[in-house]
Chain A
Amino acid sequence: MIIEPFQYFSPQSLDEAFEILSEHHGEAKIIAGGQSLIPLMKMGVEVPCIVDIKKIPGLKAIELSKDGLGNVSSIKVGALVTYNDIEGSNPVKKNLPLLAKTASGIGHPLIRNRGTIGGSLSHCDPAADLCATALALNARICITGPGLKTRSISADEFFKGPLETDLQDDEILTAVEFPVSAMKMGYDVQKLTLGHGDFPVFIVSVSLHNDGKKFTDIAIALGGVGETAVRAGECESLLNGRESITDEDILEVSKMITEKYDPPSSAELSHDYTLDMLAVYTRKALINAVQMVTG
C-alpha cells in the first residue's frame, strides 16, 4: 500500500514530459513498468511526482539498422519494450540471442510482462540481469533531454553507482542500442539466485565471437559484485585473440575473477560460498559460450 500522496502525470509527448520534469525539478520520478518503483513506494520511499512515460509514442519500437550489404548492424530497443517483448522478438532472438536469453530469465512472466529495458537500466541495480548483459553487448544508452536534445553514451559510462546513473533529472532514457556482428557468436548468462525467479545475487553475462581462426570480442560482464555491473576487462584480455580456449584457460579466468571481484554475503549464503559460486558460474558461462562456436 502506498501511503504518501503524489501527483501523477501522463504526458502524451516528450516535449510535454520535459515540461513536467522541469516544473517538478528533482521531485519527479519517471515510471515505466513500475516493477521496481512501485515496490519502493510501498516500502515508504516518498516520490511527490510520478511521470508516466508510457503514453509517449515511439518508445516501444524495436528498430533494426542495416549496413550497406543489407546485414543487420545494430538494433535499437525502445525504453518501454518489456522483457517479454524482448524475449519474443524474432530479430532479437536471431541477432542478440544473449539479450533474449537474459530477458527470458528475469523474475517470472508476470514481471516480464510489465518490466521494461529502460526502467531496468535507469534503475541501475548492480545485480540487475539486463545491466550486466547491456555491458556484455556494448550497448549504448540513448538519452533525450529538454529541447529534444539527444545524446548517447556507452552503458559503461551510464552506470554510475548503485541506483545511480548518468541520467540527469530532466532527461529521459529513450532507447538502448546494441551493435550486431555477423561473426559466429557464443554467449551465455548464468546467475546465482536464492530461489527460482528471484533477483540475482550475482550474474555473469558472457559474449564472444569467433571468425573461424580466433576468439575475439570476449565480453565478461558481472553484476552484483560491486557498485555497478562491470566488465572483467583483464580476464577478457587473457582470452581475446586466442585460437583456442581450453578448460584450463577457463578455470584460470574463473579463478582470476574471484580474486578481483567480491560478491556480497547474505543471511542465507556465506561469502565463501558465494565467491566459490562466482567461479563456478563464470566457468559454466564461458564453457557454454565457447562450445557454441567450437562445438
Chain B
Amino acid sequence: MMEAVLERQHAKSHVSEPRIDARERVMGLAKYTADWHVKDMLYARIFTSTVPHGIVKNIDSSEAAKTPGFVDMVSCLEDSTLWEAGEREHVRRVFADHVRFVGDCIGAVTATTRIAAKKAASLVSVQYEELPASFNIDSTLGNSNLKIWDNGNTIGPLKFEYGDAEEEFRNSQVVMERHYSTSRLHNVPLEPAISLAWWDGDNLTVVAATQSVHGCRNGIAKDLGLLPEKVRVIGYYKGGGFGNKINSMNYDLIAAICSRRTGKPVMVEYSREDEFINVHGRWSTDQDLRIAADRDGRINAVEVKANCDIGAYTRHMKRGHFIEGPEHYYSTEAWNAEIYGVYTNTPATGHMRAPPGPQSAFSVESLVDEMAYELGMDPVEMRFKNYIRHPNSGKFTSNGFEECITRGAEEFGWKQRWKRPEKQNTRRGLVTGVGVAIGSWHSGLGHGEAIVSIDSTGVLEVNTGVVDIGTGAKTTMALIASGEAGIPFSDTRVIWGDTETSPFSVGESGSRTTGFTGTAVREAARQIRSDLLSIGEKVHGISSSKLEIKEGNLIHSGNGNVISSVRELMHASGNGRITKSVTTEPALKEGEERFVFAAHFAEVAVDLETGEVKLTDYLAYHDSGEIVNRLTAESQVQGGIVMGIGMALTEKLLISKTDGSIENPSLLLYRIPNMAQIPKIKVFFTDTIDPYGPKSLGEIPIIPVTAAIGNAIFNATGVRLRNLPFSREELLRELKGKK
C-alpha cells in the first residue's frame, strides 16, 4: 500500500475550491450543538469553587431547589466520576471535592429553562476547608507547605540536549543572555463550550462540540465505564476549538451524568465567562536563554531554562513538553533545554494551537534577532546562515526552509525595506520598521481510516470521521478523493462527524487530519479508480493500462478520447455501488524526520508619543508540502497569524494576585483582534514535494508571529521588548530611557 502512496503523481496542485459546506455556513443552516433542540430537553448549569484551594465540606442546595423549574442537583458529594483527559499527571474528577482554583467545577444543577438553571446554580451554597494556595510560579516554588498535588507541585525537569553546550559557550566569540516571558492566554473559540446528551437504555448519545468525535466517544466511554459502541458522538458543525475542545470534555460527561439522573436529554451550556474559567487556555512561560555565536554569524549553541505556569491542571498530553520547537529551526553544535511545569491554584492550561510552539519561538527568534543586530548582521542573512538543513541525525523527508526564507524576503522586499536602526531624533509621529522570524513544526503520519464509494450515478462519496472545526477538513478530504479517483469535485459528497456512521479519525488536532485520515482517503479513492479502470477494460475491451479516469470520464490515454462517462460505465457494468473501506498506517523510514517550515515578515508603525504599535504589513512563506486546497490553506495560515497578532499585541489573561481567579473572563476585557487591527496578510507556499504527501499546516502559522512583530518593533525604535503581550507602556518607558 505504501508503494501506492509513494508512486503517485506529484503534479503541483493549483486547486482552489470553496468549502464544500460553504452554502450551509453562509445561510445560517449549519447546525451547531447549541442549535439542536430535542423534545423535553433540560438545561444544566455548573456551579464552581469560590476558593482557590480547599476541600469541599458541605453543599446546601435547599435554596436552589426552591427555584421554579429546578429539577436536580449533582455534586462531588455523590458523584465521583473521573475525567481522565482532564489532567495529564494526576487523577481529576468531573466534580472536584478537592478544589484547586477559583472556578473549579463542583457540581451542576438541572432545570427546565436556562434562566432557572442559572438562578438555581447561583443559590447553591458550598462550605470549604481552605488550604494554602499559590497564584504564581515563584510562590509555588517557594512554599513548602503548599500541596496542590500530593506528589509534588512541579513536572520536570524535561531535558533536551545534544552536543556540549558548556564547551560551545566557553569557546564562542559572542555570548548573550536574556530573559523572556509570555502570558497566560485563552483559545476563545467563538462557540463557547456546550454538550447535549441523552440516554436510550444503556446507549448514550452525545451531540458534542468536540474536535474529534472518536476521541470524545472513547473518553466518555472510559470515564463512564461503558463500551465504546454504547456511546454515539455526533459533531457536525463546531465553532472553532484551537485545541480546547480536544477529545472528551468535562461538560460532555456532565451532560451525560445529568441526563442519566433526570432521564431527560440535557444540554450543558457554558457562558463566555464559564468558557474562560473552566476550559483550558495556554500556559505562561518564564524563560532564561543563552546563545553562543561566532562573529561571522554562526550560531553554536542555545540554552533554554524555563518555568511554565500550567495552572491547577495540565491537559497537555506530551509530558513536560512545555517549551518545544526551536531545536528544529537551526543547525547548531549544541542545544540544552531544561523545562519545568509549575502548578498554581489558577485555571487549567492545555492545548492551544501549536501548544508550546509560539512561546518557544518567541524567545529563540527574538534572541537570534538580538544576536544578529549585536553582530551587525542582516537578520535574514543570520537566519539563512543557520537555518536547519538536516536534523541531527538522519534526514528530512523534504525541506523547503531555504525557499521560505529567500523567496519570502524577496516577495516582502526585505532588502529595500530593512534598515539598520538609527537613533531616533524625533519624539513624535510614527516610525516604521520590519522584522523577520522563522519556525518549524512536526508533521506526523499515522493511523487513518476512510470509506470511499462510487454509486451507479457516478457520485463519489467520501466518509471519514473528521469534524471540521473550521479547518476545511471536509473539503480537503473530498478534494483528495476527487483528485485521486478522477471524479469532479462537484460530484463528490462527504459524510462526517458521527461515530455511528463514520470510520475512526484522529480529528482536528495536532495538524494531523490530512496526513493521517487524508492518506486513507487517497488510498481508498485510488482503489476506486483502479476498479473503474478494470470495469472499463471489461466493458470496452481495452487494456486498463491504456485507460484513465479524468473529470468523471473514462479516457483512452493513447488518444485522449472520451470513451464514456463514469456514470455510463457504472450503468453498463451493471454494478451497484462500489465501496472501498481502507485503513492506512503510513510510517517514516528509519532516520527520517518530517517537518514543515515557515518564514514570516512583518512591518509595524510605532507612535513615538504613545508607544502604540500598529501592524501595517505581513507576509508568510510556508513549506507545507503539496497544498491540497490553496484557498482554505491560505485561510488557515492567515488565521494562525491573526491569532499570533493577538498574542503579540493584546491578549492576556489577568490572574488575580489575591485568589488566582481570572479577572477578565469577558470578550470586552480579553481582547482578541478585530478586523480594524489586521493588515493585509500575504501568503505563499513553496513547491516542495514530500514523498508522503501533503504535510501539516494548521499549527505552524501562529509560531513565528510574535517574534516577527517584536523584531519589527526593535527595527523601528531600537527598543527590544521581551515580554508578551508587548506593552505600549513598556515601549514608551524604554523609548524615553534611551534619550
Contacts and interface: CB of A to CB of B under 8 A. Distances in A.
A195 B664 CA distance: 14
A3 interface: yes
A270 interface: yes
B677 A196 contact: yes
B732 A273 contact: yes
A276 B676 CA distance: 26
Given A196-B677, A273-B732, A280-B610, A1 B114 contact: yes
B81 interface: no
A3 B676 contact: no
B271 A270 contact: no
A9 B688 CA distance: 67
Nearest to B656: A267
A3 B674 contact: no
A194 B729 CA distance: 11
B729 A273 contact: yes
Contacts of B271: 1
Interface string B188-221: 0000000000000000000000000000000000
Given A267-B654, A270-B729, A280-B610, A197 B114 contact: no
Contacts of B130: none
**Which of A108, A195, A197, A198 has the most chain B CB atoms closer than 10 A to its own CB?**
A195
Contacts of B122: 3
B650 interface: yes
Contacts of A197: 674, 676
B512 interface: no
Interface in B662-689: 663-664, 668, 671, 674, 676-677
Contacts of B677: 196
**Which of B663, B676, B729 has the most chain A CB atoms closer than 10 A to its own CB?**
B729
B115 A3 contact: yes
B118 interface: yes
A255 to B, nearest CB: 14
B115 A194 contact: no
Interface string A189-214: 00000111110000000000000000
B609 interface: yes
B118 A196 contact: no
Given A267-B654, A273-B729, A196 B115 contact: no
Given A1-B115, A1-B271, A3-B118, A269 B729 contact: yes
B119 interface: yes
A267 B729 contact: no
A198 B669 CA distance: 9
A2 B113 CA distance: 12
A195 B650 contact: yes
A277 interface: yes
Determine chain A's interface SS by DSSP, over half rule.
Answer: loop
B550 to A, nearest CB: 49
Interface string B153-187: 00000000000000000000000000000000000
A243 B376 CA distance: 52
Contacts of A108: 674
Nearest to A196: B676
Contacts of A284: 609
Interface residues of B, number: 22
Nearest to A270: B729
A196 B609 CA distance: 18
Nearest to B122: A3
B671 A277 contact: no
B276 to A, nearest CB: 15
Contacts of B733: 273
Contacts of A269: 729
Contacts of A195: 650, 671
A1 B729 contact: no
A276 B652 CA distance: 23
Contact of B671 (A3, A194, A270, A273): A194
A1 B118 contact: yes
A283 to B, nearest CB: 8
B677 to A, nearest CB: 6
Contacts of A280: 609-610
B654 A3 contact: no
Nearest to B271: A1
Interface in A1-57: 1-3
Interface in B82-135: 114-115, 118-119, 122
B119 A3 contact: yes
A196 B674 contact: yes
**Which of A3, A268, A280, A284 has the most chain B CB atoms closer than 10 A to its own CB?**
A268
A267 B118 contact: no
Interface string A62-90: 00000000000000000000000000000
A284 B609 CA distance: 10
A273 to B, nearest CB: 4
Nearest to A284: B609
28 contacts: A1-B114, A1-B118, A1-B271, A2-B115, A3-B115, A3-B119, A3-B122, A108-B674, A195-B650, A195-B671, A196-B677, A197-B676, A198-B671, A267-B654, A267-B663, A267-B664, A268-B652, A268-B654, A269-B729, A270-B729, A273-B728, A273-B729, A273-B732, A273-B733, A276-B732, A277-B610, A280-B609, A280-B610
Given A1-B115, A280-B609, 11 more contacts: A1-B118, A1-B271, A3-B115, A194-B671, A196-B674, A196-B676, A198-B668, A269-B729, A273-B728, A273-B729, A276-B732
Interface of B: 114-115, 118-119, 122, 271, 609-610, 650, 652, 654, 663-664, 668, 671, 674, 676-677, 728-729, 732-733
5 pairs of A and B residues whose beta carbons are closest in the complex = A195-B671, A273-B729, A3-B119, A196-B676, A280-B609
